[in-house]
Amino acid sequence: MHTVENRGRHNPYLSNIEFTRGNPVENAMRDAGDCKESKTPLIRKEKKTASGKACISGHASCDPVSTRHWLLFWGPPLLWMLVISLFSTDHFSSQQTSRIIGPLMRFLIPGVEDSTIAGVQFLIRKSGHFSEYAILCLLMYRALNRKYARPIAVWSMGAAWGTLTGCVIFAGLDEWHQTLTHHRMGSGMDVTLDGMGTSAALIWIYWRSKR
């Protein structure tokens, strides 16, 4: 039969309570009341990083070796890279998008010239390069700077250079992939636009971190 004193040795919430000899029932009632006042709430401790940003110790998002941690931070950029690769196939070539943009503009602006439609389509397609790599930059920076509780809110030169390098390399590979399709071709100008989108996102991260 376990005594109250023995239970105190194994219960972490009662470890700081001093047990005295006497009536076991009275001691147990008194100690139970003391326990309510003295025990520590079940909350995870926060550890401060070099920049003062808090990361919850023991949380999956702070454990670099957990599978959940890896998927939480690297899953979104990898999934977005897959989407970008899909946009680089023949299904999203200029011949295909013109079938949507052309009729839509003629419906909204009757009598619009073909040159205007071509210019709008060119603008939409090139702005797509800029925006999709800006998004990739944010996702990749978040993954590389994942040691912080709020990765996007903390500026890191290492994460910034890693993000810029990764996005530009992927942009080059993406343009090379287009040379393997039937209706598309790689373009150095598109890689430049991709790099500009990445740089713009990094500038925004830097500006936000200094606010």
* pLDDT, tens digit (0-9, with 9 covering 90-100), for 137-164: 999 999 999 989 999 999 999 999 999 9
Instruction: Read off the pTM.
Output: 0.67
| Dist. CA 109–CA 16, nearest whole Å | 79
Alpha helices in the chain (DSSP H): 4-10, 24-38, 67-87, 94-108, 114-144, 157-178, 188-209
* pLDDT, tens digit (0-9, with 9 covering 90-100), for 3-41: 444 544 455 444 444 444 555 555 555 554 544 444 444
